[in-house]
Copies of this chain bind each other. A is one copy, B any other.
Amino acid sequence: MQIKNKHQINHRISTDCVIFGFDFNQLRVLLIERQPVEGVPQMMALPGDLIFEEENLDMAAGRVLKELTGLNDIFLEQVGAFGDPNRVNKPNDKKWLQAVRQDPDARVITVAYYSLVNMNDYEPQPSSFAKSASWILVDDIKELAFDHFEIFQAALKKLKDKINMQPIGFNLLPEKFTFSQLHKLYESILGNELDKRNFRRKMLKLNMVESLDEKQEGVPHKPSQYFKFNEENYLKLLEKGFNNFGF
């Protein structure tokens, strides 16, 4: 009987994770700086690595995310596969791979995953080849290593599609929140301004949130009313989606 090395690496397949967080004001993404390699300018990257032969893709994504950033038990959804033959061939990326990978010239196809988490619950702890791991403002991301900018944009597109199809926010906002916080969450994901009054009307019509008999205290402006999600309706909406046709 052949005894397999438990962690035989598959040098052709990697996984990358796009973890979105919300700081109650703006949307952020968890990025790493990779271990420095001489002559390669530092560039941020998505947490990602090669998979093991015995893992399925979902398991690999969870393991890699944990190894590089410390984030554990995250519900990850697949974005898709990215397999351009030149996706890791930019000169600086190539140099970096030559310094760290066993088979730096192999064509590597990556399977990307994404998630949306409450940033306050997750303090990133870089390890493995991640020198740092931090929450970067989506608006500040202009380029990334490899084809990670393309992957990041594809994940953002998925998130925007999702927000149009099902409720979002339960895991992202505190138990009680102001309408303004909910509004900012939606604006930051969609990347554009939303008319406040319309937004409020739509949210209340969906019965997704309900007002609490409680207002902000100790704020320098007129205190806002607190709201909470209506769990029952939220779950119902999650199940049937916002589908317009009502099929």
Mark the stretch among A23-31, A76-84, A96-104, A117-125 that contacts chain B: A76-84
A154 shortest CB reach to chain B, Å: 10
Provide the residues of chain B in CB contact with A243, threshold 8 Å.
164-165, 242, 244
30 pairs from A and B in contact (CB 8 Å cutoff)? A12-B12, A13-B109, A51-B83, A53-B85, A54-B85, A56-B83, A56-B85, A57-B81, A57-B83, A78-B80, A80-B80, A80-B81, A81-B81, A83-B111, A109-B109, A109-B111, A161-B165, A164-B165, A164-B241, A164-B243, A164-B245, A164-B247, A165-B165, A186-B247, A190-B247, A194-B247, A198-B246, A242-B243, A242-B244, A243-B244
Q: Bound state CA distance, A57 and B78, in angstroms?
A: 16
Tell me if A107 is interfacial: C-beta within 8 Å of chain B. yes
Minimum C-beta distance from A183 to chain B (A)? 12
- Asked if A72 is at the interface (CB within 8 A of a chain B CB), the reply is no
A109-148 contact mask (Cβ, 8 Å, vs B): 1 or 0:
1010000000000000000000000000000000000000
**A222 on the B face (CB < 8 A):** no
Which residues from B are CB-within-8-Å of A6?
Answer: none
Give the nearest-CB partner of A154 in chain B: B78
Contact with B along A176-211 (1 / 0, CB 8 A): 000000000010001000100010001000000000
Q: Place the interface of chain A in its size category.
A: 35 or more
